Structure 1
Amino acid sequence: MHTTKGDSRLASASEIREIVGPIDDEVIARILDIEPTVEDVRRACEWLRADEPQLRNPESSSGRKAEEVFEILDDESPDFDSSGRPG
């Protein structure tokens, strides 16, 4: 599936899995409850994968839904491997 940066469509379960990688259905459901856009999920994953501490701080930028997705992913999958996928 090809999407563009800044994708403002609501993210589906399959798109979340495509962006995040393998993840439990319960976590997907929690993320879907927030009704994030594809871009919100991408942004949250970028924060999780960032090497620089200041880049891992979602509070430094806008996007409340992206922050909420980040918090869920960070709680559920705090350790991302070198490929940027939950480990």
Structure 2
Amino acid sequence: MEVIMTRDDIISVLGPVDEAVIADIALTGASLEELREAFAWLGADEALLNEGRPLPGTKVARLIEILDMPEDEDGRQAAAE
């Protein structure tokens, strides 16, 4: 049984984020563990590779794309093209 992440789950990992980012993350269907893994990859990709960790799977890779989008001048993440 797949557990859907709640808004509070997402904020517990990322801290305060834009509602659009929360919606994009929720739409991936990823688990809370996959979100934690994506967040770890963003912060320490080289260290994780050096540990011999496998490259992220499809959902984790999509989460990394969402989390790594550049911010616009207002501090909001720019829309994906």
- Secondary structure of the residue aligned to 1:50 is helix
Distance in structure 1 (CA, Å) of the matches to 2:48 and 2:13: 22
Instruction: Give unmatched runs, 5+ long, in structure 1.
Output: 1-7, 78-87
CA contact (8 A) 2:41 2:48 kept: no
The answer as to whether partners of 2:4 and 2:31 remain within 8 angstroms in 1 is yes
SS in 2 for 1:41: helix
User: What secondary structure is seen at the aligned counterpart in 1 of 2:69?
Assistant: helix
User: Which 4+ residue blocks in structure 1 deviate beyond 4 angstroms?
Assistant: none
- Distance in 2 of aligned mates of 1:61 and 1:42: 14
Which of 27, 32, 56 in structure 1 is aligned with 2:21? 27
1:1-87 equivalences in 2 (<5 Å) = 9-50=3-44, 52=46, 55=49, 61-76=55-70
Alignment length (residue pairs): 66
Shift in Å at residue 51 of structure 1? 6.3
How large is the Cα RMSD of the aligned pairs?
2.2
Q: Which segments of 5 or more consecutive residues in structure 2 lack a partner in the other structure?
A: 72-81
| Aligned-partner residue type, residue 44 of structure 2 | A
Provide the rounded CA distance (Å) in 2 between the counterparts of 1:63 and 1:29: 20
